[in-house]
Amino acid sequence: MTSQHLKATVLAASFALAAGSALAAAPADWSKVPGRTVTVFYPGAAPMEWINKGTEHSGARGLREGDSCSACHEKELADMGNKMVTGQKLEPKVIKGKVGSIPVNVQAAHDGTNLYLRFTWKQPPGGAEKMDPDNQVKLAFMLANDGLMIKSGKKEIDIANRGGCWGTCHEDSRTMPDAKDDKKTKYVEGGSVAGGRFLDLVQWQSKSNKGTDGYVAEKREMTGGSALVEAKGEKKGDTWTVTFTRKLAGGTGDIALAPGKTVNFGMAIHDDYTHGRYHFVSMGYSLGIDTKADITAVKQ
């Protein structure tokens, strides 16, 4: 073997070892990692514009005064989901048999290099139209820094801090009742990755059993990020488990994480082959790395 071939072999082995170490560092026993139940609920056709309109949503005033969506609605999410999924409120297209909410156990840990997120929930009843026939389930989470300001009445509010992913949901998005463009995706008002006005988006899909790493700025991009290492999921009996490995540091379109830092966090589950707005979503929460938050990733 020539010296060049030897160097190439050693280098390849080093890369393989590094990659293997990155994945092997995930908690060996997730039962020892604290979890938090996050209720994802059916939101119906409730875009940011409706939430921000005081004549239709009484919570708009609270948002302007500094309240978060979760602070007001945390205890009534299941009830809200039931009202919308049955068409009692904000849903012109009822999906028969769909449940109003799903409780999800969310766990987080890190090893100084990678963040590990684990989501566990029981499969609810289904059987409706297969909007996305390729994927029985998709699970996504979004991260955002504070400072994503939008106009609310005569004030500006930090929608990332108070509403989480809701800052990307608009009445003209392609599956909304009054949408005129069937290609219009989620977006951020004045969105710009270079300007820091974006949400980091990571999604796992059941068909490929892999993840995509993108972002939402002036439109939704499912690729472009570089922080995702691995996304894997499985269903055992009636229980789904999806685990993400994500580098703390990131690049373009990634929210940088570090010990002591807190970011905004939200998640969504497309269950029973659904797509577009027909998913289950969470309110906005905080994710802390070695610091107190709604969900805290402690070093393992």
Q: What is the pLDDT of residues 152-208, one digit of tens each?
A: 888 898 889 988 888 899 999 999 999 999 999 999 999 999 999 999 999 999 999
Q: What angle do CA 73, 76, 79 make, to 5 degrees?
A: 135
Contacts of 97 (CB under 8 A, 6+ apart): 125, 126, 127, 128
Q: Tell whether the torsion through CA atoms of 64, 166, 192 and 290 is positive or negative.
A: positive
Q: What is the pLDDT of residues 278-300, one digit of tens each?
A: 999 999 999 999 999 999 999 98
Residue labelled with tokens 């509010």: 157
Tokens of 49: 């514009």
**pLDDT reported for residue 25:** 61
pLDDT reported for residue 293: 97
Task: Note the pLDDT of residue 66.
Answer: 82
Q: Give the pLDDT of residue 34.
A: 95
Q: Which residues of the chain have pLDDT under 70?
A: 1-25
Predicted pLDDT of residue 266: 96
Are 143 and 285 in contact, with CB atoms under 8 Å apart? no
How far apart, in whole angstroms, are the C-alpha atoms of residue 147 and residue 160? 7
Place of tokens 């068409």: 87
Instruction: Write down all domains in the chain, each with its CATH number in brackets.
Output: 3-299 (2.60.40.1190)
Judge whether 242 and 265 are in contact, CB under 8 Å.
no
The CA distances from residue 127 to 31, 95, 274, 275, 292, in Å, are: 32, 10, 11, 14, 40
Q: How far apart are CA 238 and CA 12, in angstroms?
A: 40
Q: Which two tokens stand for residue 37?
A: 């139940």
